[in-house]
């Protein structure tokens, strides 16, 4: 009987510092369901921990001191302060790992951390963190300290170094493999040697038959290839395989055989079935005609092996992400820039989960809608999602979740939130959404109650014409109302903003900026980021550029990577110089300043005056849905225990106080006695555990039968308003 090979799952440098990238936990969870032995290592983290330690820095400083090179003024300062760096580095790293927390008091003092060039860019920390945000301020200052060391390392021993974008320029838009091949032919860098030393130790420890390396981003490609190069030189009998997000978007047309000097196989799209079939092939259980979405080399040519009769793994059968083997207590939380959403992204350890495969909308013209990770939409079952949350919490001891969906489906979020509340789980979660009509005021309140603290979503271009061209599926009015609903519920909102979409005029970009200004001024959005539109080969724009008034200008394909497409916009405005002004304005709006300045002030050249009125966004946010449209919605009571309190008689009317035991206070609502009994009975029927739906239509009908009166004045009356404000939801 054949024995399944042990698989070593590797995340190469560099991804996030604060939490493991999820690909390998997902694959390990799936391999567990097939009883295939696997172990995982996050070399992205471990290389950082080795270099940024007293031992690693001592080696760095000794090497630089022995070189006869001309250093910049900033690098000379870091070298001059080497003893201070050696003295503080281990303590600072422990602090960033959540240990040694009292060090925050020293870090916030000006003379504790050695300071070089990055501190010249220091944000206004009093604005950012206030007088009470001591730990956050210390985390931010510690991040500047690490970035000074990163700059030093980059200048002196490894020009490619970056905490999350290692040698990224070599992988981004690399149509030809030439530049990468030339770089890999050079001697190993300072970082490479730490990477190889750690990889060698893992190979000696685990003796795997297969090493699977994920390449999620361009900034992981170079180090992934370095891993493969070393493995093939030192362990020629071990099968090396690569895959991941970069491969899925960039390498679908791979034809350069040189790539396979660094790996034996490259897998596309969801890795579960391709990896399983490859393991079986390596183990002699199937021939290569049974491989799925797999590139390899046959007779010195790149071939794509794909048995397209093989189905997919249903989401409920992919297994529970498995975090075992990872150094969960050693990830470091940094604050790179003073931006609320970026802080959330990089600070704290988040369990990564997926609600659904693909995007439930999947029609945006700038998105890779032709690829499997977008176009194949398959929602998971709510019970399975929440089961996995509980299992992952048990594994990691952490109750924070980042849902990594392209866009979380609102119907699924609603059911998940209800299930979290039914199970009495205490969790915190956030994710990416679409700002659409479904996010009513009450749905956002439900999500908040279940633990939602933030959402991010694409505002993109705040122009209905361009939104329609993008095929975003939302209008400015829907976008405005949904952001208002989220922030009113106490959920932070981050907006992805785009400029330079084909045919977009400069006037439309300036009008978009005015919408963004108003969104921030009204408090509907807390955080944002402008990015320049980029055409990708697998998007509707990239597949049919002529439909969008553009002309492709890229050179012939060089046989390696293809995703970003160079193009010329034949109809739109000149967006080349707008980026800095858009970013400058956004920086100020996030700080709550600059709202009264004309938009022209943010730019160094003449731009059009906005055509939008000052209350454009506020006017769109105004809404009043007729009760008739709400009749089919179900009532839920989230407000805690309800009791009938003191009774009294006033002017011959029998009054009762309905007591609402809210989390932070007891609220007494004095009302007619018969109303109090009627409402009390209704609230007992619509608790979170109720199995029988009680609709607004039922409530309305029962009221009118019992009291022979019009329901509307009662529903909109002050008593019901207090009850609705304190936990009665329509969903």
* Tens digit of each residue's pLDDT (9 = 90 or more) over 129-182: 554 478 888 998 999 999 999 999 999 999 999 887 787 778 777 899 999 999
Name the residue among 387, 450, 401 with its Cα closest to residue 421: 450
pLDDT at residue 628 greater than cutoff 80: no
Alpha-carbon span 142 to 140, nearest angstrom: 5
In angstroms, the Cα distances linking 508 to 256, 473, 699 are 43, 19, 47
- Provide the 10 A C-beta neighbour count for residue 641: 11
| Closest CA relative to residue 167, chosen from 289, 319, 13 | 13
- The reported pLDDT for the residue numbered 617 is 94
- Judge whether 435 and 478 are in contact, CB under 8 Å: yes
Q: What are phi and psi of 515, to 5 degrees?
A: -60, -45
- Residue 124 or 182, more confident: 182
Structure pTM?
A: 0.93
pLDDT of residue 376: 93
With pLDDT > 70 as the criterion, what percentage of the chain qualifies?
A: 97
Instruction: Determine the pLDDT at residue 630.
Output: 85
Asked if the model's pLDDT at residue 266 lies above 60, the reply is yes
**pLDDT, average across residues 308-313:** 91
State how far the Cα of 617 lies from the Cα of 462, in Å rounded to an integer: 11
pLDDT for 164 equals 75
What distance in Å separates the CA atoms of residue 104 and residue 488, rounded to the nearest whole number?
Answer: 33
Q: Over the stretch 556-586, which tens digit does the pLDDT of each residue have?
A: 889 999 988 899 999 888 898 999 999 999 9
d(CA 28, CA 8): 10
Span 91-115, pLDDT tens digits: 999 999 999 899 999 999 988 999 9
Q: How does residue 621 score in pLDDT terms, banded at 50, 70 and 90?
A: confident
Reading the block at residue 310, the tokens are: 């093989």
Architecture category of domain 7-44+171-317 in CATH = 3-Layer(aba) Sandwich (3.40)
CA dist 203 and 186 (Å) reads 24
Task: Give me the pLDDT at residue 337, please.
Answer: 67
Q: How confident is the model over 597-620, as pLDDT tens digits?
A: 999 999 999 999 999 999 999 999
Distance between CA 625 and CA 228 in Å, rounded?
60
Residue 3 has pLDDT above 80, yes or no: no
pLDDT of residue 131: 47
Whole-number mean pLDDT of the chain? Answer: 92
Q: Is the pLDDT of residue 373 over 80?
A: yes
**Which pLDDT belongs to residue 214?**
97
Bridge partner residues of 357 (DSSP): 378
Estimate to the nearest angstrom the gap between the alpha carbon of 570 and the chain centroid.
Answer: 34
Q: Which of 475, 443, 450 is nearest to 462 (CA)?
A: 475
126: pLDDT strictly greater than 70:
no
Confidence of residue 123 (pLDDT cuts 50, 70, 90): low
Phi/psi at 575 (5° precision): -100, 5
225 vs 171: CA distance, rounded Å: 11
Instruction: Scan for tokens 């071939």, then name that residue.
Output: 303
pLDDT at res. 1: 36
Give the model's pLDDT for residue 132. Answer: 47
Tell me the backbone φ, ψ of residue 497, rounded to 5 degrees. -120, 140
pLDDT tens string 683-696: 999 999 999 999 99
Per-residue confidence (pLDDT) for residue 664, from 0 to 100: 81
Q: Distance between CA 508 and CA 463 in Å, rounded? A: 7
Q: What is d(CA 247, CA 228) in angstroms, rounded to the nearest whole number? A: 15
Assess whether pLDDT exceeds 60 at residue 189.
yes
One fold for both 7-44+171-317 and 339-621? no
pLDDT in the model for residue 129? 57
Domain ranges of the chain: 7-44+171-317, 50-156, 339-621, 627-730
Phi, psi (5° rounding) for residue 479? -60, -45
Under a CB-based contact definition with an 8 Å cutoff, are residues 607 and 529 in contact?
no
Any residues with CB less than 8 A from the CB of 472 and at least 6 apart, and which?
Answer: 364, 434, 458, 460
pLDDT at position 127, please?
54
pLDDT of 113 reads 93
Distance, C-alpha 21 to centroid of its chain: 11
> Would you say 517 and 585 are in contact if contact means Cβ atoms under 8 Å apart?
yes
CATH number of this structure's domain 339-621: 3.80.30.20
Report CA 301 to chain centroid distance, whole Å.
38
CA 550 to chain CA centroid, nearest Å: 30
**Lowest mean pLDDT: which of 16-30, 298-312, 626-640?**
626-640
Angle between helices 476-488 and 506-521 (to 10 degrees): 20
Q: For residues 510 and 602, what is the distance between their CA atoms, to the nearest angstrom?
A: 11
């Amino acid at each position: 009987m054949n024995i399944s090979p042990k698989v070593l799952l590797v995340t190469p440098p560099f991804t996030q510092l604060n939490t493991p990238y999820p690909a390998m936990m997902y694959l390990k969870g799936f391999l567990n369901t097939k009883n295939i032995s696997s172990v995982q290592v996050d070399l992205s983290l471990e290389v950082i921990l080795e270099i940024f330690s007293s031992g690693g820095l001592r080696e760095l400083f000794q090497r630089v001191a022995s070189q006869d090179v001309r250093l910049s003024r900033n690098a000379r300062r870091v070298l001059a302060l080497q003893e201070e760096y050696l003295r503080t580095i281990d303590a600072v790293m422990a602090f960033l790992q959540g240990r040694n927390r009292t060090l925050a008091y020293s870090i916030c003092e000006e003379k504790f951390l050695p300071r070089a060039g990055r501190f010249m860019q220091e944000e206004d920390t009093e604005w950012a963190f206030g007088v009470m945000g001591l730990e956050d301020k210390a985390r931010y200052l510690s991040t500047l300290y690490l970035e000074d060391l990163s700059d030093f390392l980059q200048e002196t021993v490894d020009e490619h170094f970056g905490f999350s974008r290692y040698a990224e320029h070599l992988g981004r838009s690399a149509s030809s493999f030439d530049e990468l091949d030339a770089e890999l032919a050079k001697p190993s860098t300072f970082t490479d040697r730490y990477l190889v030393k750690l990889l060698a130790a893992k190979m000696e420890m685990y003796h795997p038959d297969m090493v699977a390396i994920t390449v999620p981003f361009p900034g992981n490609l170079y180090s992934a290839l370095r891993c493969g190069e070393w493995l093939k030189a030192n362990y020629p009998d071990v099968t090396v395989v690569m895959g991941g997000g970069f491969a899925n978007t960039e390498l679908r047309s791979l034809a350069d055989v040189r790539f396979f000097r660094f790996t034996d196989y490259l897998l596309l799209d969801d890795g579960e079935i391709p990896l399983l079939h490859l393991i079986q092939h390596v183990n002699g259980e199937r021939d290569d005609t049974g491989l799925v979405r797999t590139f390899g080399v046959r007779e010195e040519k790149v071939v794509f092996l794909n048995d397209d009769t093989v189905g997919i793994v249903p989401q409920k059968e992919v297994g529970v992400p498995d975090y075992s083997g990872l150094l969960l207590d050693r990830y470091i939380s940094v604050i790179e820039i003073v931006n609320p959403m970026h802080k959330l992204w990089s600070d704290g350890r988040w369990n990564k989960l997926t609600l659904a495969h693909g995007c439930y909308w999947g029609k945006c013209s700038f998105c890779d809608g032709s690829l499997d990770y977008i176009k194949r939409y398959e929602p998971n079952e709510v019970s399975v999602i929440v089961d996995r949350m509980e299992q992952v919490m048990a594994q990691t001891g952490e109750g924070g979740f980042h849902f990594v969906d392209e866009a979380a489906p609102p119907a699924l979020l609603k059911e998940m939130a209800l299930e979290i509340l039914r199970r009495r789980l205490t969790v915190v979660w956030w994710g990416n959404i679409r700002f659409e009509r479904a996010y009513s005021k009450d749905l956002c309140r439900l999500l908040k109650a279940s633990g939602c603290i933030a959402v991010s979503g694409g505002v993109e271009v705040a122009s209905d014409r361009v939104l329609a061209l993008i095929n975003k599926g939302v209008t400015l009015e829907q976008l405005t109302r949904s952001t208002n609903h989220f922030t009113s519920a106490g959920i932070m909102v981050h907006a992805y903003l785009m400029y330079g979409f084909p045919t977009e005029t400069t006037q439309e970009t300036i009008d978009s900026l005015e919408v963004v200004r108003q969104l921030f001024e009204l408090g509907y959005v807390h955080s944002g980021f402008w990015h320049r539109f980029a055409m990708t080969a697998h998007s509707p724009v990239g597949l049919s550029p002529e439909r969008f008034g553009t002309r492709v200008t890229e050179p012939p394909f060089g046989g390696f990577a293809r995703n970003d497409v160079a193009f010329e916009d034949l109809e739109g405005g000149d967006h080349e110089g707008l980026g800095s002004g858009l970013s400058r304005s956004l920086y100020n709006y996030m700080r709550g300043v600059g709202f009264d300045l004309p938009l022209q002030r943010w730019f160094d050249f003449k731009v059009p005056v906005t055509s939008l009125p000052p209350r454009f966004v506020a006017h769109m946010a105004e809404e009043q849905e007729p009760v008739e449209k709400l009749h089919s919605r179900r009532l839920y009571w989230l407000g805690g225990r309800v009791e009938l309190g003191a009774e009294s008689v006033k002017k011959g009317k029998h009054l009762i106080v309905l007591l609402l035991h809210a989390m932070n206070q007891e609220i007494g609502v004095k009302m007619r006695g018969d109303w109090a009994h009627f409402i009390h009975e209704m609230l007992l029927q619509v608790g979170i555990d109720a199995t029988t739906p009680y609709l607004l239509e039922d409530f309305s009908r029962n009221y009118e039968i019992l009291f022979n009166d019009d329901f509307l004045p009662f529903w909109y009356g002050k008593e019901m308003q207090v009850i609705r404000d304190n936990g009665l939801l329509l969903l």
